[in-house]
Amino acid sequence: MRAIVRQLFASTLLCLAAGACAGADIVVVVSSRSPLAALRMDQVAALFLSQEARFPDGSAAVPLDQPVGTALRDQFYQKVTGKTPAMLKAYWSKMVFTGRGQPARDLAGNAAVRKAVAGNLAMIGYIDRDALDDSVRPVLVIH
């Protein structure tokens, strides 16, 4: 079993390094009604790693995640935090155990994340660029 996991991990890293599995751009979105115009990569990482609970203007921030195991989620965390799925699992185990944080709530996909974010000024999520519409505003584009 470990050999299979190592092989999958190695092939995923190779794929990411070569850009062959990069797919479309990922956009970090907030409600179109939000006053927030842009965020830096480190600010997004802090929000999604439960190191920060507020947007730069001081308002509450509630991150929303894509489903576990999806390519979009794996790419987002790899590009924004530098963490692989295994590293994230270990990170969250430690954070939850020590009471320092909880992972973002998982939603069913692009449409669910977009709908939830559009309806709540405190929410922030990420979706495929192709799923972007006028109900949400991109605050960071990840290539």
Task: Evaluate whether residue 57 is within a structural domain.
Answer: yes
For residue 38, what are the contacts with CB-CB under 8 A and spacing of at least 6?
Answer: 139, 140
Task: Evaluate whether residue 112 is within a structural domain.
Answer: yes
Question: Tens digits of per-residue pLDDT, 46-60?
Answer: 999 999 999 999 999
* CATH code, domain with 55: 3.40.190.10
Task: Evaluate whether residue 72 is within a structural domain.
Answer: yes
Task: Evaluate whether residue 5 is within a structural domain.
Answer: no
Query: Could you give the CA distance from residue 59 to residue 17 in angstroms, rounded to a whole number?
Result: 36
Whole-structure pTM value: 0.83
Instruction: Note whether 16 and 76 are within 8 A (CB).
Output: no
Read off the amino acid at residue 97. Answer: F
Query: Could you give the CA distance from residue 132 to residue 114 in angstroms, rounded to a whole number?
Result: 8
Task: Evaluate whether residue 56 is within a structural domain.
Answer: yes
Q: Write out the residue range of the structural domain in which residue 44 sits.
A: 23-142
Number of domains in the chain: 1
Instruction: Note whether 118 and 136 are within 8 A (CB).
Output: yes
Task: Evaluate whether residue 16 is within a structural domain.
Answer: no
Question: Tens digits of per-residue pLDDT, 23-47?
Answer: 589 999 999 999 999 999 999 999 9
pLDDT interval class at 127 (50, 70, 90): very high
Task: Evaluate whether residue 2 is within a structural domain.
Answer: no
Task: Evaluate whether residue 85 is within a structural domain.
Answer: yes
